[in-house]
C-alpha cells in the first residue's frame, strides 16, 4: 500500500464514528460541565434551604442559574480548546480534539465559546447581579488568568486554575442569596483545596505528555516526591473546612471527616507504593468519588 493510501486510511479511521454532537461535547468538555453542574446545584440548594425559600417557587431562578452556569463553563472550555490547539496534539488525551484534527474550524470554536458565555452571563444576571459578576470572575480566571497567562509559564498554574473551578457553588448560592456568607465561602474553599491533589494526580499520570507540551506542571518541574508532599499538605488542609459548615449537622461532619481520613491514608500510602502511576490513578479515582459523595451528601442530608 502506498504512503498516500496509508495516510488516507488513518484519517478515515480517526474520523469514523465521529458526529457533530460528539465534537460539540468534546469542545465544551462535557465532563467538566457535568461536575460543575453538581457543585453549582449544591450551592443553590443550600441557599434555598438556609433562606427557607421554596424549591417549586424558585424554579425560574433554578433554571436560569443551572443553564446559565453550564453555558459559561462550556463556553470557557471551548475557548480553552481554541487557545490550546497548538499544543493539544502533543498530548495523548487531547490529540483527538476537533480543534486538533481539523474537524471544526478554530474561528467557529471561538464564536461558539463567546456565544455560550454571552448567553450564560445574561441568564445569570437575570437572577442577581452578584451571580452575574461571580460568573464573569470565573470566566476571566479560567480563560485569561489560567489558559492565557499562567498555564504555560508557572508551576503555580494549578493554583490559579483552581479559582475558576471553585466558583460554581458561589454562583449557585448568590443566585438565591447575593449576601453570601460562611457556607458558600466554605464550599469555595473545599473545592479550591480539593482541586490541588486532584489535578496533581492527573499531572503525575500524564507527566510525559505535559513535559512534551512544555507545560510546567508540578511533577514535571519538581518531580514525584515533591508532588506527593504537596498533595499530602493540601489534603490535610481539607480537614478543618467542613467545620465551617457545622450548621449542616453531625452527620455531614462525620461524612466529611471520614472522606478526608480515607484520602489522607491513601496519600500517605504513596510513600510506600513503588508504582507511582498506579498510586496516582488511585488518588485520581478517590478524588472524583470524594467530591461526588460530599456534595451529593450535603443535598441528601438537608433534604431528609
Judge whether 147 and 215 are in contact, CB under 8 Å.
Answer: no
The pTM score is 0.90
> Residue 93's pLDDT band (boundaries 50, 70, 90)?
confident
Q: Which residue has the higher pLDDT, 94 or 268?
A: 268
User: What mean pLDDT is reported for the chain?
Assistant: 91
What residue segments make up the domains of the chain, in order of their start? 20-180, 182-304
Please give the share of the chain, as a percent, with pLDDT higher than 70: 94
pLDDT score of 9 = 32
Q: What is the pLDDT of residue 17?
A: 47
* pLDDT at residue 18, as a whole number: 56
What are the C-alpha distances in Å from 220 to residues 35, 84, 215, 224, 226? 26, 19, 8, 8, 10
Overall average pLDDT of the 8-30 stretch:
64
CATH number at 20-180:
1.10.357.140
Amino acid at each position: 500500500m502506498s504512503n498516500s493510501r496509508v495516510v488516507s486510511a488513518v484519517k478515515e479511521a480517526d474520523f469514523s464514528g465521529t458526529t457533530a454532537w460528539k465534537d460539540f461535547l468534546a469542545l465544551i468538555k462535557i465532563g467538566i460541565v457535568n461536575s460543575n453542574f453538581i457543585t453549582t446545584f449544591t450551592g443553590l440548594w443550600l441557599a434555598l434551604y438556609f433562606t427557607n425559600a421554596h424549591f417549586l417557587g424558585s424554579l425560574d431562578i433554578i433554571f436560569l442559574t443551572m443553564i446559565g452556569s453550564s453555558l459559561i463553563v462550556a463556553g470557557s472550555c471551548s475557548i480553552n480548546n481554541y487557545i490550546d490547539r497548538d499544543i493539544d496534539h502533543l498530548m495523548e488525551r487531547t490529540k483527538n480534539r476537533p480543534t486538533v484534527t481539523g474537524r471544526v474550524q478554530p474561528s467557529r470554536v471561538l464564536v461558539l465559546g463567546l456565544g455560550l458565555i454571552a448567553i450564560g452571563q445574561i441568564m445569570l444576571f437575570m437572577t442577581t447581579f452578584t451571580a452575574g459578576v461571580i460568573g464573569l470572575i470565573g470566566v476571566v480566571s479560567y480563560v485569561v488568568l489560567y489558559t492565557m497567562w499562567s498555564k504555560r509559564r508557572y508551576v503555580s498554574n494549578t493554583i490559579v486554575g483552581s479559582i475558576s473551578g471553585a466558583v460554581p457553588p458561589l454562583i449557585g448560592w448568590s443566585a438565591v442569596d447575593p449576601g453570601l456568607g460562611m457556607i458558600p465561602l466554605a464550599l469555595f474553599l473545599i473545592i479550591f483545596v480539593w482541586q490541588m491533589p486532584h489535578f496533581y494526580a492527573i499531572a503525575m499520570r500524564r507527566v510525559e505528555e505535559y513535559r512534551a507540551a512544555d507545560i510546567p506542571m508540578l511533577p514535571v518541574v519538581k518531580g514525584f516526591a515533591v508532588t506527593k508532599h504537596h498533595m499530602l499538605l493540601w489534603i490535610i488542609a481539607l480537614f478543618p473546612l467542613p467545620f465551617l459548615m457545622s450548621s449542616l449537622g453531625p452527620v455531614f461532619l462525620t461524612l466529611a471527616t471520614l472522606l478526608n481520613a480515607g484520602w489522607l491514608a491513601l496519600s500517605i500510602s504513596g510513600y510506600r507504593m513503588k508504582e507511582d502511576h498506579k498510586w496516582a490513578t488511585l488518588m485520581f479515582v478517590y478524588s472524583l468519588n470524594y467530591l461526588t459523595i460530599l456534595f451529593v451528601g450535603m443535598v441528601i442530608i438537608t433534604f431528609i
